[in-house]
Amino acid sequence: MRLLPISQLQPGDVSADALRSTDGRILLREGVILTESVIDALSRWDIPALPVKWPGFEDIDTAPALPAAIIDEMTQWAAKSGDLNWDIIREAQRIVRKIWDEQLDRHRQAFELIGVYQVGTPFLTFYVNLVALVMRLGHELVPEWTQAYTLAAMLMGFHHGGLKTGEVLDPDPGHGLQMAAQLRQFQIPAPAMTALLQHHARYDGNGMPTLKGVDIYRGAMILGLAEEFLTLVFRTDNHSLPAHEALEWIIGGAGVDFSLETVTRLQRTVAPYATGQVVVVDNHDVAVVREVPWDWPARPTIGLLSGRERGNIVDLREVNQQNRVITGIYRERLWPGSRGSA
């Protein structure tokens, strides 16, 4: 399959995965031939990209960071009506444990962002990725702490304004504080409460609260970093960034906004380019990302589509390939030598 931006879809393309609504319904099944009206609908629904079947890419596939059943449980929980109560808290903890069990088998996979087409709206996609990414960033820590940080991320979605508008703009510093105030009556684990209260603190002291450096709780640093990164990717105004550019922005703030340790953890976890994405290599060759390694997600295995080595599959982790660099996403539908190109 090829992950193709909506702006590049054409009638006759065939979907390679299901498109889902916010309530888990399948709006578009795998194997459907796209029409002009379907493509127009995808644009209206703010779906940025869709996997399509593509000649020569038949063996390229990716496993989602979370299965559809868990995504449905998360989004249905976040959209519950009424105030927080013991039953709602316990259900959130149950879902977190379920995600933990799922992630135990995936921590040796690079974290590829869950796409909007798999969830339904930009906000819900941001939220689902936030919960999954916080857990992945903390998987090497004490399990009880990691699950507490993940619970904090989970709670941030309850009654969030983005559920109604579908928008993701700048993180709201007051939302975590409001949530923490509501949670004081419940026996929420202290690491979750602290993460909520401090996740808008910044390493140089210019956040809220005005903690600085190592005084910021580690779980809050993880939660705040994941929120900042995912907001850059899924915000719905003109300032959203592709994953690789959002990572570069976060890396540029290492030691200022977030600790170097936490930024390095993110860099070693998240795939800057998704499986099936067509990219530019060394500013001139075109390639497709075939597989993203868990131990070095910025150096995937690629299949060269143009140039003198066209047709070769290259592992960028190999010593003799480390001078070869992915320089960005290929912005056109076709490339020289591809079927249908001039």
Nearest-angstrom CA–CA distance, 37 and 220: 44
pLDDT of res. 314: 96
Q: Token pair 């962002």 is at which residue? A: 113
The answer to whether the CB of 223 falls within 8 A of the CB of 175 is no
Q: What is the mean pLDDT of each run of 10 residues along the chain (342 residues)?
A: 94 94 86 95 88 95 87 91 87 95 78 94 94 93 94 88 76 66 80 92 92 95 96 88 96 94 96 96 94 94 95 96 94 82 42
How is residue 205 annotated by DSSP?
S
Nearest-angstrom CA–CA distance, 56 and 31: 16
pTM: 0.94
Distances (CA, A) of 327 to 273, 290, 323: 11, 16, 12
Same fold? 2-52, 68-267: no
pLDDT of res. 288: 97
β-bridge partners, 314: 302
CATH fold of 68-267, please?
Answer: Hypothetical protein af1432 (1.10.3210)
List, as own/partner pairs, every contact residues 209-214 make where C-beta atoms lie below 8 angstroms and the sequence separation is at least 24, other chains included.
Answer: 213/259, 214/259
Annotated domain spans of the chain:
2-52, 68-267, 278-329
Nearest-angstrom CA–CA distance, 140 and 48: 33
pLDDT of res. 341: 46
pLDDT of res. 83: 82
What are the phi and psi torsion angles at 286 (to 5°)?
A: -115, 140
pLDDT of res. 167: 81
The tokens for 117 are 């087409």
CATH fold of 2-52, please?
Answer: Molybdopterin biosynthesis moea protein, domain 2 (3.90.105)
Nearest-angstrom CA–CA distance, 19 and 301: 27
Cis peptide bond prior to 171, omega within 30° of 0: no
